[in-house]
Amino acid sequence: MQRTNKELWLSLLAIAIITAVYAFVVNWYKAIPAAGSLFGHLIGVVGFLLMLCTETLYSFRKRSSRARWGPMATWLQFHIFTGLVGPYIVLLHTSWKFNGLAGATTLLTILIVISGFVGRYIYTRIPRSLDGTEVAMPEGKAQADALVRARRVLSTWHAIHIPIGMALFTAAFIHIGAALYYATFLR
């Protein structure tokens, strides 16, 4: 099966456009927008919503036996796109300040993105048919051993990637709650 990098190119294009808008705002205000400013909150919310889509929609589609909302390959591309663009927007939201819980959340965000790249590499090593489904067991002992090894590595990667994502969203929800309480409700 011919694998494309369409989601990576679209992510790069979106990041370039977002960077241009961010640079315009920085130039307009002659300063990096504070995370607590209107623009800072806006990009934080947009980035978080994209990351939430990354975390939930692909997983829901993958585990749902009844829902058939398009091919899994398309959902994986969406997962990768939002998994790159969302964290980038959240990184811009930080105003390049990485202290406290927000700094730990940023670190977890960076770890999950790196882990995602590793997972994408591992995923592409598993042989697939022309329609994109995983080959059950290829012919030949060497190919079968390679498939078993790739599946084992992917399983180990899942055992690392999923808990990092859970820790990230736990920290993100605590950060959002604290930001709302201390920066919004107490004003």
Domain layout of the chain by residue ranges: 6-185
* pLDDT above 50 for 1: no
Q: Quick one: pLDDT band at residue 56, thresholds 50, 70, 90? A: confident
For the chain, the average pLDDT equals 82
Question: pLDDT value at position 43?
Answer: 92
Average pLDDT rounded to a whole number, residues 104-133: 76
Question: pLDDT value at position 2?
Answer: 46
* pLDDT above 50 for 130: no
The 10s digit of each residue's pLDDT in 95-113 is 888 888 888 888 888 898 8
52 vs 120, higher pLDDT: 52
Task: Determine the longest span between alpha carbons in the chain, in angstroms.
Answer: 68
Question: pLDDT value at position 87?
Answer: 92
Average pLDDT rounded to a whole number, residues 142-147: 72
Question: pLDDT value at position 131?
Answer: 47
163 vs 125, higher pLDDT: 163
The 10s digit of each residue's pLDDT in 68-104 is 777 777 878 888 899 899 999 999 998 888 888 888 8
Averaging pLDDT over each range in 19-28, 73-82, 104-113, 122-131, which range is the top one? Answer: 19-28
What DSSP letter does each residue of 105-152 carry, written as one string?
HHHHHHHHHHHHHHHHHHHHTS-B-TTSPBPSS-SSHHHHHHHHHHHH
Average pLDDT rounded to a whole number, residues 33-37: 84
Question: pLDDT value at position 13?
Answer: 96
Question: pLDDT value at position 65?
Answer: 66
